[in-house]
Amino acid sequence: MTTAQPTGPGVPATLAATWRTLTEATSRRTGSTLAALATVDPAGAPQVRSVILRACDPDRGTVAFATDVRSAKVHELRVEPRVAVTVYDDATGVQLRLAGRATVVTDPEERRRRWAGFGAHTRRAYASPTPPGTPLAPDAATTAAGVDEPDDAWFDRFAWVEVRVDAVDRLDVSADPQERVVLTRDGDAWTGGPVTP
C-alpha cells in the first residue's frame, strides 16, 4: 500500500495494521477471514451476507472473494459497484470496516489461477446447474445437483471478485480507551486519523 504523503496521525500505522490483519486472514483462518459483504440491490435496499476473504493485495489495496457468477450479489455489484466489507476478530478485538468498489475479474489467467487454488469442497459449491436462490422442488435431491457435469461448467460459474478499498475504519475495542481510526484514499494517498470511537 502506498503511503506516500500521510497527513493525519496514525495513518501509516493503521494502514500497516489493517493490511497485516487482512494478509493473515487470507493466509490462514482467523477471526477476520469470514467477512460480511454489503451491497445495494437495484431497488435501493441493503443486502448483506457472509463471504470468505480469500486474497488481498496490500500494494494495490484490494481484497477478493469467490462467488457464483449467477448470484444476487454479482447482479447487485454490477449495477452498483460500491460495497462495504466488515470483519471482526474476537481474538484481537479489532473490527475493520472497509468500503470500496467491486469488480468481477475477467482475466482468464487469473481466474484459472484462483480456481486451481481451490480444494474439492470449494469447487463443489459451483456444481449446481441452477442459480443460487432457485426454488427447489419438494423432492429435489440437492446433494446430487450437477455432480456429473464437467469441471469446466463449474469453472464457468465461478466469479472472482476484487474490491478496491477506498476507505478503512479500524476500531480496536481491546484498547482502553477504545481506539478508532478512519482513513480514506485519494489515488494512492491515504489521509485521515483518529476519531472518537
For the bound state, the minimum distance from the C-beta of residue 52 to ligand FMN, rounded and expressed in Å, comes to 4
Residues forming beta bridges with residue 36, ordered by sequence position: 50, 86
Q: Of these, 47, 86, 103, 191, which contacts ligand FMN (CB under 6 A)?
A: 47
| Binding of ligand FMN by 33 (CB under 6 A) | no
Residue list 50-109, contact with ligand FMN (CB under 6 A) = 50-52, 65-68, 71-73
Q: 3-class secondary structure for 28-68?
A: CCCCCCEEEEEEECCCCCEEEEEEECCEEECCCCEEEEEEE
| Binding of ligand FMN by 154 (CB under 6 A) | no
For the bound state, the minimum distance from the C-beta of residue 170 to ligand FMN, rounded and expressed in Å, comes to 23
Residues forming beta bridges with residue 98, ordered by sequence position: 85, 168
Long-range contacts of 150-155 (CB under 8 A, 24+ apart): 151/123, 153/129, 154/123, 154/126, 154/127, 155/111, 155/112, 155/115, 155/126
For the bound state, the minimum distance from the C-beta of residue 71 to ligand FMN, rounded and expressed in Å, comes to 3
What DSSP designation does 142 have? G
Q: Judge contact between 166 and 185, C-beta under 8 A.
A: yes
Site residue total, ligand FMN (CB under 6 A): 15
For the bound state, the minimum distance from the C-beta of residue 76 to ligand FMN, rounded and expressed in Å, comes to 7
On the CB side of 53, CA atoms within 13 Å amount to: 31
| Binding of ligand FMN by 132 (CB under 6 A) | yes
| Binding of ligand FMN by 165 (CB under 6 A) | no
The smaller minimum CB distance to ligand FMN, of residues 76 and 169, is found at 76
| Binding of ligand FMN by 196 (CB under 6 A) | no
- Residues of this chain that interact with ligand FMN (CB under 6 A) are 34, 47, 49-52, 65-68, 71-73, 132-133
